Amino acid sequence: MLKLLKVLAGWLFKRRPAITVRPWNMTDIRALITIEEEDGGPIEGKAFFNWILEEQVYGVVAVENGVVQGFAVAYPDSGYIYTIRVAKKSRRRKIGTRLLKHFLIALNVWQKQQLSIDVSNKNAGGRRFLERNGFAVVLITEYHDDDGNFQEAFLTLQRPPPTGFTWNDVMVVNGDETIEL
């Protein structure tokens, strides 16, 4: 019994390794590509590297014991989050929430009113994550194939949503391009 209590106490009071969120730098690139590729993401080494250099984006990484566990990229001029991603094995440990909080603090620095992000309607986990963090769907963009059949929709979420905004106010628009799935 005493042994069980000791194990329980050890588990409860074990110090969790601290997560640090900091601006990314070029030495992080390999880790970012690895995390992106886990999900079959679109980022490819050189193209990504060039994109970072060319775009006016602000990227941050979440680091634990010197290892990058997640990253997020936003455009400071609009508050639009281009991507947020956490390594598969490190999900559901509030690392994504920490990354979002970093941008919320940055909003004051950028003097922006809101953050926004797009997520596929197939990404139920991503949507739940965003809603848990105060985002709400404000726009739905639907994409159709050449025959006009519905293929996929992207949800635009905003934090905070416009004052007085309700689900009834969410607009549904047709994407102006067809996508191949």
Ligand X SMILES: CC(C)(COP(=O)(O)OP(=O)(O)OC[C@H]1O[C@@H](n2cnc3c(N)ncnc32)[C@H](O)[C@@H]1OP(=O)(O)O)[C@@H](O)C(=O)NCCC(=O)NCCS
> Measured from the CB of residue 86, what is the shortest distance to ligand X in angstroms?
4
**CB-based contact 89:105 (threshold 8 Å):** no
Q: State yes or no: residue 134 binds ligand X (CB under 6 A).
A: no
Strand, helix or coil for residue 74: strand
According to DSSP, residue 167 is labeled G
| 6 or 17: CB nearest ligand X | 17
- Sole residue written with tokens 């979440």: 62
Q: State yes or no: residue 121 binds ligand X (CB under 6 A).
A: no
Element containing residue 9 per DSSP (H, E): helix 2-13
Q: State yes or no: residue 132 binds ligand X (CB under 6 A).
A: yes
| 7 or 43: CB nearest ligand X | 43
According to DSSP, residue 148 is labeled S
Rounded to 5°, angle at Cα 19 from 37 and 13: 125
| 30 or 132: CB nearest ligand X | 132
| 125 or 147: CB nearest ligand X | 125
**CB-based contact 84:36 (threshold 8 Å):** no
Q: State yes or no: residue 128 binds ligand X (CB under 6 A).
A: yes
Q: State yes or no: residue 68 binds ligand X (CB under 6 A).
A: no
Q: State yes or no: residue 73 binds ligand X (CB under 6 A).
A: no
Helices (H) and strands (E) in the chain, counts: 5, 8
Residues in region 74-93 near ligand X by CB under 6 A: 84-86, 91-93
Separation between Cα atoms, residue 138 and residue 148, nearest integer Å: 24
Q: State yes or no: residue 119 binds ligand X (CB under 6 A).
A: yes
> Measured from the CB of residue 27, what is the shortest distance to ligand X in angstroms?
21
Total binding residues toward ligand X, as defined by CB under 6 A: 19
Strand, helix or coil for residue 21: strand
Q: Which stretch binds ligand X (CB under 6 A): 24-32, 105-113, 119-127, 137-145?
A: 119-127
Beta strands in 38-109 (DSSP E): 58-64, 67-75, 80-86
Residues in contact with ligand X by the rule CB under 6 A: 39, 84-86, 91-97, 119, 123, 125-126, 128-130, 132
